[in-house]
Structure 1
Amino acid sequence: MLKLQTPVDCGKSRIQISYKDRILIIGSCFADNIGGKMSALGFDVCVNPFGTLYNPQSIAGAIRRLR
């Protein structure tokens, strides 16, 4: 049978997010969807304050403007 997936074991992250954290999510429609889910779950999340961005140069520019 043809394998269409590659299992990847990333291990457990050292970073843990809690409801007390403020979270910024920038990126494509994936970021919009994840940010919406996190907001619905009660996280303090800011999603794409400059609109949906699709490339690293635009994302870097948005981060510079946030400083």
Structure 2
Amino acid sequence: MNRADVAKRLSNLAGPEVAKPSDETVAHVVALIGSLNTQSPLYQPNVETLLSLEATIWARECGAKLQN
């Protein structure tokens, strides 16, 4: 997927009828991390990337709640 494809897909998923609440995204991230090969040299960088993405989602949701 190129950047434009990702942006289009994200915009399709960003609506309230499709986007998942943060507790569900945490569960998905935990499942993804659990499915990674711990013996892979990419394990730690992939875990850090997934956690960074989840932190961004969490922070944006918390910020949106504070603004409302």
- Would the TM-score normalized by the shorter structure come out above 0.5? no
| Bigger Cα Rg | 1
Name the one with the larger strand percent. 1
Q: TM-score when scaled to structure 1?
A: 0.31
Q: TM-score when scaled to structure 2?
A: 0.31
